[in-house]
Structure 1
Amino acid sequence: MWQVLAAGSLFFPGLYLVLKRCAHWAGPGWTEGECSLISARIVSSLQGILAATSGIIIITSCKDVKFDRHWLATGYIWFIIPYMVYDTYAMYLRHWYKCQDKRILNGKEHFSKAMNSLLKKDFLMLVHHTAILTIIVPIGLFLRRDIGDFFVGCLFTAELSTPFVSLGKVLIQINWQNSLLHKVNGAVVLITFFICRILLFPFMYNAYGKQYGIPIYKVPFNIPLHCNVINASIMAPQIYWFWLICRKALRLYTSHPQTKDR
């Protein structure tokens, strides 16, 4: 799978650079930071589509939720490793350009301000990316003993909400935050996030229970403790992010026109 790892290492940064050049052409008045931001969001959207599609293929192919195999379950994990590294750097670039816009010219001060901004505003996302690379990826590739591809596919489908989240941010960036499209997209974000990131976990427990004839409320007591711990650790930030999305949705549908959020 090293070929897949190499392909991802070329694909995501390369796509970002191509999109950034296209953004300069499409929006001559955009700053370097704005072009970088919209390019990164499009890359995130595409990755979300690829991951969700892979997840759906795996889920529909695995009849036995524990032992059936599909090559995408490990193949896409290798592909997502360079994306997580790239996306972490893209998050840093977002804050680097913000500090540049504030005309912090000293190199060390610029780096320090950008890192402080990243740690302050995107700390949970940074922890999320780090946990995926250092915990979830090793488990998915080496520690699960080639079982549970169905559940790996389920976790991939969580990315289905990502394109809509990114679209909402792009609409704000181009000052369409008061458009009907933005409001409709906000509703889709709520629905897809709730289904694919919150209801996903009851769905997985229910699928396991149906196969082995166990009521869903007894499933946590019939699977290894570490599976429950991992699921709870993944689900906890999803609940927090869903709460933040609900707050933003409330402002979107009840408040006056919003200001541009970079």
Structure 2
Amino acid sequence: MLALVAAGSVFFPGLFLVSKHALQRPLGWSEGDAAVLSTRLVSSLQAVMASSAGCIIASSCSDVIEDRHWLTNAYILFATPYFAYDIYAMFLCYWHKLQVKGHEESGHGDGSMSAAVGGYLRREVLMVLHHVFMVAFCFPASLLWRRGKGDYFQGVLFLAELSTPSVCLGKVLIQYKKQHTLLHKVNGVVMLLTFFSCRVLLFPYLYYAYSRYASIPVYAVPLVAPWQCNLGAALLWPLQIYWFTLICRGALRHSNAPPSTLKDVDLTHGR
């Protein structure tokens, strides 16, 4: 158990540092650009790994409650440190963005670290709280409180990460002012579809799947489901809906904006 947590604690920050170093030294990228792109690469790789694990687990469980798969707990242990790492990686991206923009987003001219931390927490409060919740609540809920039941549902939850690569690619394209390209438009469609299907529809599907298993109406599932499941859904589902509305607003602004103003439109909220 501890070995998997340690492996994840080394793997994600280590991959970030290796990627950042490779972009800086051989390719001559600035530290800020290298840090931002490395963060996106690590996030995308984690998403691919989580989605792959989710596909394997969900497709292997015919009984949604009783069937077990060794990969379920193994990936939970391995991936949990990612969320702690990502809080720091996102701060680095914010910090380098402040350096480029002359600290104007922090609201302070001194460029101090404390001012940057405060500005980062104000700007990314929902994302930080989401990541803290994943470590503090979802980790014990997934590993301990479910008592080996429902590997199928855990696998489906892993599939929520399927939207992350398109979100990261959208941010990279915006960073390099490629909003006018066909790739950005196609990626935007993919992002909308994957985010809606894998995050917004995810929680209703989980309740629907259990209602079929238990042969009860969907509206009765919250009455029999463990409180941890209801609490997690109640906190995480509205957040996904909120982020999806931001993505839709960004897409509408993008479609209506003149080409000269596309650099100011970001339709990749959430991750």
Same-fold status (TM-score > 0.5): yes
Aligned match for 1:246, one of 243, 248, 268? 248
Question: How far, CA to CA, are the matches of 2:5 and 2:124 in structure 1?
Answer: 26
Question: How far, CA to CA, are the matches of 2:115 and 2:38 in structure 1?
Answer: 23
* Partner amino acid, structure 2, of 1:259: K
Counterpart for residue 168 of structure 2: 166
Q: Name the CA shift for 1:65/1:155 in 2 (closer, same or farther; >3 Å).
A: same
Counterpart for residue 191 of structure 1: 193
Question: How far, CA to CA, are the matches of 1:120 and 1:84 in structure 2?
Answer: 18
1:233 aligns with 2:210: no
Aligned match for 2:149, one of 139, 147, 150? 147
Conserved 8 A contact 1:8-1:83 = yes
* Partner amino acid, structure 2, of 1:89: Y
Q: RMSD in angstroms over aligned alpha carbons?
A: 2.0
Conserved 8 A contact 1:99-1:113 = no
Conserved 8 A contact 1:95-1:115 = no
When structure 1 is superposed on structure 2, of 69-78 and 217-226 the one drifting more is 217-226
Counterpart for residue 52 of structure 2: 53
In structure 2, list runs of 5 or more residues that go unmatched: 267-271
Counterpart for residue 118 of structure 2: 116
Give the CA deviation at 1:15: 1.0
- Residue 47 of structure 2 aligns to a residue in which SS? helix
* Partner amino acid, structure 2, of 1:6: A
Question: How far, CA to CA, are the matches of 1:93 and 1:159 in structure 2?
Answer: 22
Identity of aligned residues (%): 49
Give the CA deviation at 1:172: 1.2
Conserved 8 A contact 2:37-2:172 = yes
* Partner amino acid, structure 1, of 2:67: D
Give the CA deviation at 1:134: 0.7
Question: How far, CA to CA, are the matches of 1:50 and 1:58 in structure 2?
Answer: 12
Counterpart for residue 92 of structure 1: 91
Aligned match for 1:259, one of 246, 249, 263? 263
Q: Name the CA shift for 1:58/1:251 in 2 (closer, same or farther; >3 Å).
A: same
Conserved 8 A contact 1:5-1:81 = yes
1:15 aligns with 2:19: no
Conserved 8 A contact 1:100-1:110 = no
Deviations 1:51-78 (A, max 9, x none): 1111111111111111211112111111
Q: Name the CA shift for 1:149/1:229 in 2 (closer, same or farther; >3 Å).
A: same
Counterpart for residue 76 of structure 1: 75
Q: Name the CA shift for 1:256/1:249 in 2 (closer, same or farther; >3 Å).
A: same
Counterpart for residue 38 of structure 2: 39
Give the CA deviation at 1:101: 2.9
Conserved 8 A contact 2:253-2:265 = no
Counterpart for residue 101 of structure 1: 100
Give the CA deviation at 1:126: 0.4
Q: How many residues align?
A: 259
* Partner amino acid, structure 2, of 1:184: V
* Partner amino acid, structure 2, of 1:124: L
Deviations 1:18-64 (A, max 9, x none): 21123225753x42111100110011000011111111111111111
* Partner amino acid, structure 1, of 2:61: C
In structure 1, list runs of 5 or more residues that go unmatched: none
Counterpart for residue 219 of structure 2: 217
* Partner amino acid, structure 1, of 2:95: W
Deviations 1:67-106 (A, max 9, x none): 21111211111111221111111011112212333556x9
* Partner amino acid, structure 1, of 2:206: M
- Residue 82 of structure 1 aligns to a residue in which SS? helix
* Partner amino acid, structure 2, of 1:197: R
Question: How far, CA to CA, are the matches of 1:31 and 1:93 in structure 2?
Answer: 13
* Partner amino acid, structure 1, of 2:117: M
Give the CA deviation at 1:220: 2.4
